[in-house]
Structure 1
Amino acid sequence: MRVIWILASLGLVAAEDGLNGWLRYARLPRGMLRHAKVPTHIIALNTSQASPVFTAGKELQKGIQGVLGQNPEVTYEGLHGRQGESSILVGTIEAYADAGGAADIPELEEDGFWLNTEGDSVEIVGQNERGALYGAFEYLSMIAQGNFSEVAYATNPSAPIRWINQWDNMDGTIERGYAGLSIFFENNVIVSNLTRVYEYARLLSSIRVNGIIVNNVNANPILLSLENMAGLGRIADAMRPWGVRIGVSLNFASPQTLGGLDTYDPFDKSVIAWWTDITDKLYEHVPDMVGYLVKANSEGQPGPLTYNRTLADGANLFAKALQPYGGIVMFRAFVYDHHLSHENWYNDRANGQMEFFKDLDGAFEDNVVIQIKYGPIDFQVREPPSPLFAHLPNTASAIELQVTQEYYGQQCHLVYIPPLWRTILDYDLRVDGQKSVVGTDILSGKTFNKKLSGYAAVVNVGLNTTWLGTHLAMSNLYAYGRLAWDPTNDDVRMLEDWTRLTFGFDETVLETITKMSMVSWPAYENYTGNLGIQTLTDITGPHYGPNPASHDGNGWGMWTRANEHSIGMDRTVWNGTGNAGYYPPEIAAMYEKVETTPDELLLWFHHVPYTQRLKNGNTVIQHFYDAHYAGAETAFGFPAQWAALEGKIDRQRFEETLFRLEYQAGHAIVWRDAINQFYFNKSSIPDARGRVGNYPWRVEAEDMELDGYRVTAVTPFEAASGLRIVQTVDNSTAASVRATLDFPAGVYDLAVAYYDLYEGQASYELFLNNRSLGTWVGDLEDRLGYTLTRGIDGHSATRITFRDVRIRKGDEVRIETQPHGRETAPLDYIAVLPKGVVE
């Protein structure tokens, strides 16, 4: 028997901490090395150490040393003296032409590159220096995966804007950050050691990201102090060799709060002069700054509406200040009223983007880009594409995605997100009745003949060596860059490339990670919120654990409108909020009717009875029950699949990942039970398969013999099995629970459901009869990165499992506990699970 969080040694496989991500450049297996054919000289056509081409030369040398064990020479003097020799040439098409080459290279667009490995030499030629560096990373990715095939092709980006949005705060914390503190800021200034910033830029460059906003959209004006402007210059210097240009988020009220003016009206001459001066000073420190990101008049942030100016007036204020420098304003379309009246049937937060922006098309300066969240609400587990993408023919736009798993398990749940993004990027909006696929047509600029368009993703890396808090989450960052470059890239192919680069060539590892990842988003959707009902998390709190009641009865507008008879938002034109009518006519007609709306978005567009039949004949409520069980069962299988990789992955990454997958398996059951219990209570319609509320393998803590414990309810009620839990009578006295087991003799897994709160680390020990099975501590706040909670609720609910325990009927199980701080050692139940049983 063993506790699942204490693992055996993995032998001689060297431990890795994840810091190198997919750029490990691990030595190829001996069999692959026999096929290696790589030139022995590298020619980088730029001598400046700040140049991405210079960087490319060094990176090629580093990569080849790691992958092949060779030490190629790097020179920068051009082609002279190297004619006829086997070499890797990397540079811009202009520099190559000046050196006497580049005659047969196809036309390249900005950031595009040409890669030719045919013959004895390799050509890596970029339209600009970034493109050359991207080509170097492409070549290194090939050889790091053992691919030495001869290729000759040009590739160009789908869109010019491929940015990252950091939500880092000046004090060093990160909003929706699950991987530690900021790599950019601490104590309201830029950090002195920018090593991690340099390393981050390397990762971003390798996936062809060309811009980054370094601070939170809920911006602190202190970033614009002279000291911090100088610090921004140092950040830019650290990222520039990798071709990553920086920008900043602005607080609209800065002229007043930082500048001492009595207004921030965008039409006021003193405000205009203030922003012009700030912009001039920023460009003195960061001459290649990409521009600004602005969140205005949303969620309490200041903006131009305060002065009865339009959002276009506000955006243009910054655009005009940036125009002399070629900078861009990314202006977020995430504007809505978060004090909506729930009593008004026609109110709808999903209409916010359209209500605020649809009549402003053409009113923006040419260097303003409207940054639109992929769906009308807020990074939900499934949404239709925002209709605003179809309504800006005369205004540049970009899509906003989220690599940070704010609503997708906060890096504690495995969720490979590209299949979700695929539902948006591959969506044909049928603008003017013509093919208008979001990724290949609208975001590429083809539909509306735009030159400025693109992608932005929230990616809140932190000081954790895994960057995002967990190793497997890095596949989402890798895939984001690949999709921003080419939205037709295959989800499985990207995942397999990332897996080989990150974990090596073992086929079992590749198959396991691919299988788990590709089912992870459908599973998460199933056990959180399906049929378009949104992610049924606590929207007024951490956005993490289950709390469906939090959606309704407040002003935030993420409503489900669930009552005892029916559920869903009526977004039809004929009877609802009218949101469906904002889509182009073909799409609007489809969403207007229940019969033609796809089941996966039924409750997004329609309010229907729980007994409404889906297209497969199932009822809505039974689908809820079935889907939540199916999703939890999928997650329940992750730990065993990963455990089978023992010895094939280094010890550190194996153990850290197994821990999180075990956690996810338990938390998925928390989700399953909470959502099913909530809607059973709401609808009074039982599960046709008799599962909901019926747990034959559980011993409820409130039914045990208690010593030093008391029985209490929880909030929300559905976060406890049996609707009650036990917690110690005070915060200091040891306590225990015990029960006699009435199960047939056999080998079981024992799962203890408890609650792990912030500001306390209670200790636990599980006994069978008088034999200790193991101990643990409530320290998930130190081991996981989710938003912390002080409550006994769906966020803090968790399980620990003890495997392969031999039990006889009549055995006594006992848990001895010691509360600590705010943590009163809360217990929910013990599950006694036969082998092969998914509870």
Structure 2
Amino acid sequence: MRCLLFLASLGLVAAENGLDGWLRYASLPCSHQCQSKLPASIMLLNVTETSPVYAAGSEIQDGLKRIYGAHAQISQIQCKTSSSTVVVGTVEQYRKTCGSSSEIPELEEDGFWLSTEGPKIRILGSTESGALYGAFEYLSMLAQGNLSEVSYATNPSAPIRWVNQWDNMDGTIERGYGGPSIFFNNGAIVDDLTRVKQYARLLASIRINAVVVNNVNANATLLTPENLKGLGRIADVFRPYGIKVGISLNFASPETLGGLDTFDPLDPSVISWWSNITEQVYQHVPDMAGYLVKADSEGQPGPQTYNRTLSDGANLFARAVHPYGGIVMFRAFVYNQLNESNWTEDRANAAVNFFKDLDGEFDDNVVVQIKYGPIDFQVREPASPLFANLLNTSTAMELEVTQEYLGQQSHLVYLPPLWKTVLDFDLRVDGKPSLVRDVYTGKRFKRKLGGSAAVVNVGTNTTWLGSHLSMSNLYAYGRLAWNPTDDSQTMLQDWIRLTFGLDRTVLNTITKMSMESWPAYEGYSGNLGIQTLTDILYTHYGPNPASQDNNGWGQWTRADHIGIGMDRTVSNGTGFSGQYPDEVAAMYESIDTTPDDLLLWFHHVNYTHRLHSGKTVIQHFYDAHYTGAATAQTFFTQWESLKGKIDDERYNHVLRLLDYQSGHSIIWRDAINNFYYNLSGIPDTANRVNHHSWRIEAENMKLDGYKTYTVSPFETASGSMAIVTTSNETVGTATTKINFASGTYDLAVNYYDAYGGQSQWQVYLNDNLVGEWVGNGEDVYSHTTSIYLDGHSAIRIKFRGVEVKNGDTLKIVGKPDGIEPAPLDYVSFLPEGIVD
């Protein structure tokens, strides 16, 4: 049963900065009956302070005190005690100490049994890590007000449950949206590892068992003696939480660091060098998990330099770590620049082309790490067919918690519903059930190794990822790594209760927002399988559909004035559909059986092609972008309803991001719709695209100190034009008469906040100040900044409830700063209920 909680009072809490994540252990009221169910003592079956069992005891002691004010002492081992005790340890330790364990179910590696029945609460793992997982499970129940009597066992779906950091030795993070590295600075491991310990707690609580601490685009200097000592210090912090450390390697290290004249994986001197360096690594980190390798991809060195196979490269490292029990995660993200003029070329084909013929040639301790889709963390992709082509090789699923193409943590996008489209997909290998989740966990093809890895770019920001709400993705990743059948909404709601408390309104509101967020983002950023239409050549953030084509990167849409989409059929296209087993290949080969949400991934069609829904492709584009952006507008207002129910610090931080997303979704909507309207010449049947009756274009205002500026890409400005100050020292003024009916409006201003300065703006009505702001987005938001006026730097700010009279004078004053010339795009006067 749950405690009797006074839920209405739970929102009135002290300010929090997010550092505790879902391990807040927030105080809950508890009745006498509730108190009677709490343990009075904690019996640890291993009191070694560096052991996961000891860490489990410390967590339980701290959690009981913080959640319910209960003071449980760590006691001597006393199996016969009748007092309320929680016993923590391994099954073997319990058997040796307390005798019979016949009632305990059989456990697999790292599995645990949790029993709260009777006076004695027992948390027993097959390993000490399992016992720690069980302790966190117990605390999760308590923190959610759940004191039910339970008795159950749970086991991991796979042995590999890793996270990959993309931290660089200089302290920067590739695709990092939450601040600098918690591991590195100025080419060395940081001295203060306090944040690393906090991160270890978070990862252990979601049952992650290894962390690769450096970027896959690896710097060989991590292998210097001084940095290996630092790596040992990091491993010492993670070890009590059952987490092993792994590292990424640069394939050319024997040459760049070791002074050899080759890094040929079959050269005896190279083999010897890696054997020696691996021995040094294990001297500092005796339990190192293994190596992660990115080779022959995106300019990284690899075995193909010497005409060696990828398996030659992987096995080089596998044999080096084998004596120590290590494994090698070898990324399948291998592709070359392509020729777009060749209709049959396709980056999506690369993984199968490079790896299929090597199946069975990898050593047993090699795991091929495969991105969930064939391209690169897109808003929707089909499952990678490589999972169906490696029957004799261990594999792992690579996911991305960090939202590289998916709003970069400045947009709310809850990712598990996207991940589940792949995890739950049936590949039908040999005509038999072959769910992707059963393939990478090793069950389908009876592989001992397997599992998942996620790119997780936590930083020193107290929100960890740049946004409080984005932490739901990290939490859910851990849950899915343990059990890929977990339900997206159930996981989400556990995270909400742990992170924001038990208020029912909070739970329902964040659930609704989060579950709507991925479909909304797909709607306003790219749909029908066309990928996310971000600028792939620059920041991977804002809209730039033209960047997808006319380059060698292979994320093509092949859009022209007649049609759009990649023809990936065997009969007429790149042949990609034929990489799947027969049943799946047949489905994707036919335009009639291809699902609409992947149509443009597999087929090139006219804009006037009718979907199964009956709409044309172009009209679906228009409608979906309007619908997605309209949904994003509701996130801000839904969150506003939670004021007073969430502490002010986190409430205001999230509100600011959702306000930003509401505006940027409109920038996305307009850019994509205008681009394809301009390209196709086909109007929107609802007459919305390129028609904005509530807007006043900045270039049409009376300008003093401002001049017009042609924005590129053209679609990232309303009417393709903006205004900028005539010099970096000139204050600009733009004025106009208002011809809208008198009434109350929301005043929205679209401007550009480019990196390199922090301009200031003021808005006046009849010389009365309505509002002002500073272009400091680089300090406020989490995404990669831009030095240009484009879809990355475009922002909308809104002043709500402004009283306006017909004939009033609107004046905007812009003061440039640095190289930023106080740019403006347009102004909108929005009556109640009008989005624009």
Q: What one-letter code is carried by the residue in structure 1 that aligns with 2:136? A: F
Q: What one-letter code is carried by the residue in structure 1 that aligns with 2:521? A: Y
Deviation for aligned residue 1:34: 4.1
Q: Distance in 2 between matches of 1:42 and 1:646?
A: 39
What TM-score results when the alignment is normalised by the length of structure 2? 0.98
Contact 2:760–2:822 at 8 Å: present in 1 too? yes
Deviation for aligned residue 1:764: 0.5
Identify the residue that residue 191 of structure 1 maps to in structure 2: 190
Q: Where do residues 600-615 of structure 1 align in structure 2 (5 Å cutoff)?
A: 600-615=597-612
Identify the residue that residue 6 of structure 1 maps to in structure 2: none
Contact 2:11–2:501 at 8 Å: present in 1 too? no
Query: SS in structure 1 opposite 2:283?
Result: helix
Q: Distance in 1 between matches of 2:580 and 2:766?
A: 64
Identify the residue that residue 318 of structure 1 maps to in structure 2: 317
**Correspondence for 2:568 among 568, 571, 582:** 571
1:238 matched to 2:237: yes
Q: Distance in 2 between matches of 1:382 and 1:211?
A: 28
Contact 1:36–1:148 at 8 Å: present in 2 too? no
Q: Distance in 2 between matches of 1:821 and 1:32?
A: 63
Contact 1:748–1:832 at 8 Å: present in 2 too? yes
Q: Distance in 1 between matches of 2:615 and 2:145?
A: 48
Contact 1:97–1:103 at 8 Å: present in 2 too? no
Query: SS in structure 1 opposite 2:469?
Result: helix
Deviation for aligned residue 1:445: 1.4
Identify the residue that residue 623 of structure 2 maps to in structure 1: 626
Query: SS in structure 2 opposite 1:472?
Result: coil
Deviation for aligned residue 1:784: 1.1
| Residues 1:36 and 1:649: Cα distance change in structure 2 (over 3 Å) | farther
What TM-score results when the alignment is normalised by the length of structure 1? 0.98
Identify the residue that residue 671 of structure 1 maps to in structure 2: 668
Query: SS in structure 1 opposite 2:409?
Result: coil
Q: What one-letter code is carried by the residue in structure 2 that aligns with 1:64? A: L
Query: SS in structure 1 opposite 2:588?
Result: helix
Bigger Cα displacement from structure 2, 94-103 vs 282-291 = 94-103
1:446 matched to 2:443: yes
Identify the residue that residue 47 of structure 1 maps to in structure 2: 47
Identify the residue that residue 268 of structure 1 maps to in structure 2: 267
Deviations 1:817-838 (A, max 9, x none): 1000111011000010001111
Deviation for aligned residue 1:32: 9.5
Q: Where do residues 102-113 of structure 1 align in structure 2 (5 Å cutoff)?
A: 102-113=101-112
Q: Distance in 1 between matches of 2:579 and 2:11?
A: 60
Deviation for aligned residue 1:746: 0.8
Identify the residue that residue 366 of structure 2 maps to in structure 1: 368
Contact 1:189–1:228 at 8 Å: present in 2 too? yes
Identify the residue that residue 21 of structure 1 maps to in structure 2: 21
1:429 matched to 2:446: no
Identify the residue that residue 721 of structure 2 maps to in structure 1: 724
Q: Where do residues 323-472 of structure 1 align in structure 2 (5 Å cutoff)?
A: 323-337=322-336, 339-439=337-437, 441-472=438-469
Deviation for aligned residue 1:589: 0.1
Q: Distance in 1 between matches of 2:290 and 2:441?
A: 20
Identify the residue that residue 127 of structure 1 maps to in structure 2: 126
Query: SS in structure 1 opposite 2:672?
Result: helix
Deviations 1:307-363 (A, max 9, x none): 0000000000000000000101000000001x2011000000000101100000000
Contact 1:728–1:826 at 8 Å: present in 2 too? yes
Identify the residue that residue 800 of structure 1 maps to in structure 2: 797
Identify the residue that residue 654 of structure 1 maps to in structure 2: 651
Deviations 1:506-528 (A, max 9, x none): 11111100000000000000000
**Equivalenced residues, count:** 826
Identify the residue that residue 115 of structure 1 maps to in structure 2: 114
Q: What one-letter code is carried by the residue in structure 1 that aligns with 2:298? A: E
Deviation for aligned residue 1:121: 1.1
Q: Distance in 1 between matches of 2:784 and 2:565?
A: 28
Deviation for aligned residue 1:38: 1.1
Query: SS in structure 2 opposite 1:216?
Result: coil
Q: Where do residues 670-689 of structure 1 align in structure 2 (5 Å cutoff)?
A: 670-689=667-686
Q: Distance in 1 between matches of 2:513 and 2:719?
A: 31
Identify the residue that residue 501 of structure 1 maps to in structure 2: 498
Q: What one-letter code is carried by the residue in structure 2 that aligns with 1:376? A: P
Deviations 1:780-812 (A, max 9, x none): 001112111100000000011001001111111
Deviation for aligned residue 1:30: 4.5
Give the unaligned 5+ runs of structure 2. Answer: 1-9
Identify the residue that residue 529 of structure 1 maps to in structure 2: 526
Identify the residue that residue 4 of structure 1 maps to in structure 2: none
Deviations 1:623-646 (A, max 9, x none): 000000000000011111101111
Contact 2:368–2:394 at 8 Å: present in 1 too? yes
| Residues 1:32 and 1:298: Cα distance change in structure 2 (over 3 Å) | farther
Contact 1:674–1:718 at 8 Å: present in 2 too? yes
Contact 2:568–2:602 at 8 Å: present in 1 too? yes
Give the unaligned 5+ runs of structure 1. Answer: 1-9
**Correspondence for 1:771 among 764, 768, 772:** 768
| Residues 1:106 and 1:570: Cα distance change in structure 2 (over 3 Å) | same
Query: SS in structure 1 opposite 2:570?
Result: coil
Deviation for aligned residue 1:78: 2.5
Q: Distance in 2 between matches of 1:26 and 1:447?
A: 42
Contact 2:34–2:147 at 8 Å: present in 1 too? no
| Residues 1:486 and 1:738: Cα distance change in structure 2 (over 3 Å) | same
Query: SS in structure 2 opposite 1:511?
Result: helix
Q: Where do residues 22-101 of structure 1 align in structure 2 (5 Å cutoff)?
A: 22-30=22-30, 34=34, 37-75=37-75, 77-79=76-78, 83-101=81-99
Q: What one-letter code is carried by the residue in structure 2 that aligns with 1:636? A: Q
1:644 matched to 2:641: yes
Contact 1:32–1:146 at 8 Å: present in 2 too? no
1:208 matched to 2:211: no
| Residues 1:266 and 1:813: Cα distance change in structure 2 (over 3 Å) | same
Deviation for aligned residue 1:103: 2.6
Query: SS in structure 2 opposite 1:550?
Result: helix
Deviations 1:267-306 (A, max 9, x none): 1111000000000000000000000000000000000000
Deviations 1:486-542 (A, max 9, x none): 111111111110000000011111110000000000000000000000000000110
Identify the residue that residue 220 of structure 2 maps to in structure 1: 221
Q: What one-letter code is carried by the residue in structure 2 that aligns with 1:428? A: D
Contact 1:496–1:510 at 8 Å: present in 2 too? yes
Contact 1:44–1:91 at 8 Å: present in 2 too? yes
Q: What one-letter code is carried by the residue in structure 2 that aligns with 1:49? A: E
Identity %: 64
Q: Distance in 2 between matches of 1:276 and 1:368?
A: 16
Q: What one-letter code is carried by the residue in structure 1 that aligns with 2:724? A: Q
Q: Distance in 2 between matches of 1:109 and 1:444?
A: 14
Deviations 1:349-388 (A, max 9, x none): 0001011000000000000000000000000000000000
Query: SS in structure 2 opposite 1:123?
Result: strand
Identify the residue that residue 833 of structure 1 maps to in structure 2: 830
Q: Distance in 1 between matches of 2:704 and 2:30?
A: 62
Q: Distance in 2 between matches of 1:500 and 1:28?
A: 12
Identify the residue that residue 7 of structure 1 maps to in structure 2: none
Query: SS in structure 2 opposite 1:278?
Result: helix
1:475 matched to 2:472: yes
Q: Distance in 2 between matches of 1:39 and 1:629?
A: 54
CA RMSD of aligned residues (A): 1.1
Contact 2:741–2:806 at 8 Å: present in 1 too? yes
Identify the residue that residue 816 of structure 1 maps to in structure 2: 813
Q: Distance in 2 between matches of 1:685 and 1:247?
A: 53
Query: SS in structure 2 opposite 1:637?
Result: helix
Q: Distance in 2 between matches of 1:16 and 1:74?
A: 29
Q: Distance in 1 between matches of 2:525 and 2:169?
A: 33
Query: SS in structure 1 opposite 2:43?
Result: strand
Identify the residue that residue 7 of structure 2 maps to in structure 1: none
Q: Distance in 2 between matches of 1:204 and 1:713?
A: 48
